[in-house]
Chain A
Amino acid sequence: MTLLSVLGVLSSAIFSGTSLLYTTLGEIIGQRSGIVNLGLEGVMLVSASAGFAVTAITDNPYLGVLVSIIAGGLMNMILGFLVISRRANQLASGLALMFFGFGLSAWIGRSYVGAKIKGLPRFPLPGSSNLPVLYSSLFNFDLLIYLVIPMAILIWWLLFRTRWGLGLRAVGENADTAFASGRNPLLIRYQALFAGGLLTGLGAAHLSIAYTMNWMEYMTAGRGFIAVALVIFSKWNPLRAIVGALLFSGAVAFQLLLQSSGIQVSPFLLDTIPYVLTILVLIVWGGTRRHTAPASLGRVYQGTE
């Protein structure tokens, strides 16, 4: 294993972890307000296809990112309508949203499969330009990568250091009490879902417009569910989510490195490493005494008629 391959794992973790991290941040906001969105996979797909299509049409990747973000917000509003206004079961609504997303994204992306787009421009990490090309190309990041960690810090600040965040968390813990103290749980949950959708859209945009520069049906391949697992892993804390997303995508990059380093272990087994790691972490971290999950997560707020 050379220095290049070790740095390569880091670089891959950053590249493919970015979309996971944005999506996880989005889900953290939603869950902090008490709503589980199991439809993330569908939200990501619709955002990714819409953003990719707009990039292919206009040749402007930034416009594509913008459309992805908006699409993510709108998709989450569908969930919001179901679970907040219609008081439907969150898990069932989330799954329905996912299947709706499968179909809608396939339809949106249909004529753009195999389209060649100009991906999001990349800028070298300051100071890496004197390195040999193979090394400097490892740290040639796009804008969304540079913004992802500041975004995690911003979300943390919003949730834990502002009145809005306090209200949002209060609704997630006990909506009735929050209502009694003068907050509007319905409005706050809509806001949380919308903000979360925007972030999910950013994650999806990074996947299709920046990293793979490609649209394929069901290209998220389970990343929406991984993001839900990462929310639990990170204990609903945006800063811990950074570690989780990097760890998961680092594991993917590491198993690919193992595959191609010549060890004679079946690639079928190596391919399961990231998922086994996720399960292990959930087992080890799952049973802590302090409850970190928002207390009314998944519960329907009946309101005060």
Chain B
Amino acid sequence: MKSKTFYSTLAVVMTTLLLLTACGPAATEAPPEEPCLIIGALYGGPLNDAGYNQAMHESVMAIKTNIPCVEIIEAENVPEEAGATSTMENMIQQGAGMIFATAFNHQYPALELSYKYPDVIFEHAGGWEMGANFANFFGEPPDTWYIMGVAAGRMTETNKLGFVASFPLGWTLTFANAFHLGATSVNPDVETTVAFTFSWGDSAKEADATNSLINQGADVITMHVDSPTTIISTAESRGVYSIGFQSLHAQEFAPEYWISGTGYTLGGTLTWLASTVIDGTWEPIFLRCSLFDGCMAMAPFGPLVPQEVQDEVLAVSAEVEAGTIVVFAGPIVDQDGNVVVAEGEVLTPDLMSSVDWFVEGIIGSPK
């Protein structure tokens, strides 16, 4: 008898689950006419992460808004190389003439496929390889990190800033360095402490790291992780300022203690790239564009940021734009006192990806 009841329950559960799955994929309507270009876009994580993937997704979707005749096929949660290859092949079978591969791991699968499909245009976010039909694009975050550092240096009362990072990678260290240089430019007493979680998505450890930094006196928290939501919510719940990165949506998680933040807004650039594919003028270019080209944007200031700080931050931003402030201009000294960028020299973007040092004044070990 007992097992009979169990089988009936199981049957009910299975039927419910099947019904639910049936509801899942909503009926897709066929596009009214032939699209002028089919674009395939793939992402390493979920599209609604209020972080990097959402910023990339919104940039790609801006193409559809600006050029209504394009059709966009998206695939999220494709972190691995093997999955990326089959996803892109699948998109090309569906007629995609242009591919946006947005995760770090997508670069080499996309490059390989670009040899196999010479008629398809491949664009990778943040890569360095180039080919006849393969190129890359990205924003330039270091400038924005410097500007955010200025805001942090002005807002801190304890002179301690906290930076939660996933892994000690070249770009992450560059961001922390730029942030600290910006902060010390207005407040020489400032210290920046970096804590690593060794995961792109371990929320509990991100909360632990945020709390640990706050407990050591940090009163401004910023981060380089995939999704900033846990870190910003935690800082907000402790009554500590936060500065966001990746997507402008991060602000929603800190209604009170938000200072500002920066995010990728590549919609205009991607629209232009797509339009050159449509009219046949596309060429492979190593495309990097900055805050001042509209490829990144600064989020609105939070309610507690005084007007004079806002004015100063915008003034510094104007100076960076004009070139009177160069973030990584020498001399720059690392934690051990070694000169890493000599007087009169500038750290170039191709070296930023392989940085393995922290500037003087940062607490934490870079390797």
Contact = CB atoms under 8 A, between A and B. Distances in A.
Interface of A: 2, 4-5, 7-9, 11-12, 15-16, 19, 81, 85, 106, 110-111, 113-116, 119, 122, 133-134, 137-138, 140, 186, 207-208, 211-214, 216-219, 221, 223, 249, 252-253, 256-257, 259-268, 271
A124 to B, nearest CB: 13
A114 B249 contact: yes
Interface of B: 2-3, 6, 10, 46, 48-51, 54, 77, 162, 168, 193-196, 198-199, 201-209, 211-217, 227, 229-230, 233-234, 237-239, 249, 252-253, 363-365, 367
A211 B204 contact: yes
Nearest to B239: A133
Contacts of B211: 8, 11-12, 15, 253
B10 A114 contact: no
B159 to A, nearest CB: 15
A261 B326 CA distance: 30
B65 to A, nearest CB: 21
A111 B48 contact: yes
Interface of A is mostly: helix
B207 A217 contact: no
B364 A259 contact: yes
B50 A11 contact: no
A221 to B, nearest CB: 4
A81 B199 CA distance: 35
A216 B207 contact: no
A221 B168 contact: no
A214 B227 contact: yes
B365 A81 contact: no
A153 B233 CA distance: 32
A257 B233 contact: no
B207 A85 contact: no
A7 B193 CA distance: 19
Contact of B202 (A7, A119, A219): A219
B367 to A, nearest CB: 6
Contacts of A214: 203, 227, 229-230, 233
A113 B48 CA distance: 6
A260 B216 contact: yes
Nearest to B219: A134
Contacts of B10: 81
B229 A114 contact: yes
Given A257-B215, A260-B364, 19 more contacts: A5-B216, A8-B216, A16-B204, A16-B208, A81-B6, A106-B77, A113-B227, A114-B227, A115-B48, A116-B253, A134-B238, A138-B215, A216-B227, A219-B202, A253-B208, A253-B211, A256-B208, A257-B216, A259-B196
Nearest to A1: B216
A253 B217 contact: no
A30 B252 CA distance: 41
Given A114-B51, A116-B253, A267-B364, A252 B205 contact: yes
A260 B363 CA distance: 6
A186 B77 CA distance: 41
Nearest to A108: B20
A271 B363 CA distance: 17
A7 B229 CA distance: 25
A253 B212 contact: yes
A15 B201 CA distance: 18
Nearest to B48: A114
Contacts of A5: 212, 215-216
A110 B2 CA distance: 36
Closest 9 CB pairs of A and B: A8-B215, A212-B203, A114-B50, A256-B212, A113-B46, A221-B202, A214-B230, A260-B193, A262-B363
B80 to A, nearest CB: 13
B195 A213 contact: no
A257 B229 contact: no
With most chain B CB atoms within 10 A of its CB, the pick from A4, A134, A216 is A216
Contacts of B198: 267-268, 271
Contact of B203 (A81, A85, A216, A263): A216
26 contacts: A4-B215, A4-B216, A5-B216, A8-B212, A8-B216, A11-B211, A15-B211, A113-B46, A137-B239, A207-B203, A207-B204, A212-B206, A212-B234, A213-B229, A213-B233, A214-B227, A216-B49, A217-B77, A219-B201, A256-B195, A256-B209, A257-B216, A260-B212, A260-B216, A265-B365, A267-B198
A257 B194 CA distance: 11
A267 B208 contact: no
A268 to B, nearest CB: 7
Contacts of B201: 216-219, 221
A208 B202 CA distance: 11
A267 B54 CA distance: 29
A7 B208 CA distance: 13
Contacts of B196: 259, 267, 271
Given A114-B50, A214-B230, A264-B365, A85 B215 contact: no
